[in-house]
Amino acid sequence: MLSYAARRLVDLLVILLGVSVLVFLMIRLIPGDAVQILLGANTEVTPEQIAQMRHTLGLDQPLLTQYGGWLAGVLRGDLGKSVWTGAPISQEILARLPVTLELTVLPLLLASVLAVPLGLLTASWRNSGVERTIRFFTIAGITTPAFWLGTLFIYVAFVVAPDWATIGYVPFTTDPLGHVSRLVLPVIALALPLLAGLIRILRSSLLEVLGQDFIRTARSKGLSERRVLYRHALRNAMVPLLTVLGIQAGYLFGGAIVVEQVFAIPGFGRLIVGAINERNYALVQGAILVVTAGFVLINFVVDLLYAAVDPRVEYR
Partner 1 sequence: MKTFLRAALVSSMLLVTASAQQVTRGGTLQLAVDQSPVGLDPHVATAFSTFVVTGQIYEGLLDIDPALKIRPLLASKYTRSDDGLTYTFTLRSGVKFHNGDPFTAADVVYSMNRVKDSKTASPLASRLASVTSVKASSPTQVTFTLSKPYAPFLSEVATIAIVDQKYVEGGGNLQRAAVGTGPFVLKQWIPDTALLLDKNPSYWAKGQPYLDGLKFNIVPDASTRQLGLQSGTYQFLPNIDASVAVTLKGARSVQLLRSQDLAYSLLGMNVTRKPFDDPRVREALNYAINRPEIVQGVYFGDAQPGGPIPPALKAYATPVNNFPCYSYNPAKARDLLRQAGYPNGVDFSILTFSTIKTVADTAQVLQAELAPAGFRAKIDIQEFGSFVQNWRNSNFDAFVSQNGGSIDPDGQLYRTVVSGGSTNVFKYKDPAVDALLEQGRSTTSNGSRVRTYAQLQKTLACRGPLAFLAYGALYSAARSEVRGFTPNPTRSLAALKTTWISKE
**Which residues make Cβ contacts (< 8 Å) with residue 205, sequence separation at least 6?**
237, 239, 240, 241
**Shortest reach from residue 206's CB to partner 1, in Å:** 39
| Sign of the alpha-carbon torsion through 215, 217, 220, 221 | negative
* Contact with partner 1 (CB under 8 A) among 2, 3, 10, 40: 40
* Contact with partner 1 (CB under 8 A) among 85, 128, 133, 217: 85
Q: Cα torsion for 41, 46, 51, 54, to the nearest 10°? A: -40
177 binds partner 1 (CB under 8 A): no
166 binds partner 1 (CB under 8 A): yes
Q: Cα torsion for 192, 196, 201, 203, to the nearest 10°? A: 130
What gap in Å lies between CA 199 and CA 247, rounded to an integer? 16
58 binds partner 1 (CB under 8 A): no
110 binds partner 1 (CB under 8 A): no
- Quick one: which segment of 48-56, 138-146, 188-196, 209-217 binds partner 1 (CB under 8 A)? 48-56
220 binds partner 1 (CB under 8 A): no
41 binds partner 1 (CB under 8 A): yes
**Shortest reach from residue 159's CB to partner 1, in Å:** 8
**Shortest reach from residue 152's CB to partner 1, in Å:** 11
- Quick one: which segment of 14-22, 27-35, 214-222, 231-239 binds partner 1 (CB under 8 A)? 27-35
* C-beta of 184 vs 301, nearer to partner 1: 184
165 binds partner 1 (CB under 8 A): yes
Kindly write out the interface string for residues 264-303 of this chain, putting x where it contacts partner 1 by CB under 8 A and - elsewhere: x-x---xx--x--xxx------------------------
169 binds partner 1 (CB under 8 A): yes
**Which residues make Cβ contacts (< 8 Å) with residue 52, sequence separation at least 6?**
none
- Quick one: which segment of 4-12, 82-90, 132-140, 301-309 binds partner 1 (CB under 8 A)? 82-90
What gap in Å lies between CA 300 and CA 9, rounded to an integer? 9
- Quick one: which segment of 30-38, 188-196, 213-221, 288-296 binds partner 1 (CB under 8 A)? 30-38
172 binds partner 1 (CB under 8 A): no
* Contact with partner 1 (CB under 8 A) among 23, 53, 103, 191: 53
* Contact with partner 1 (CB under 8 A) among 47, 77, 129, 311: 47
Residue numbers at the binding site for partner 1 (CB under 8 A): 30-33, 36-49, 52-53, 56, 84-87, 92, 95, 151, 154-155, 158, 162, 165-169, 261-264, 266, 270-271, 274, 277-279
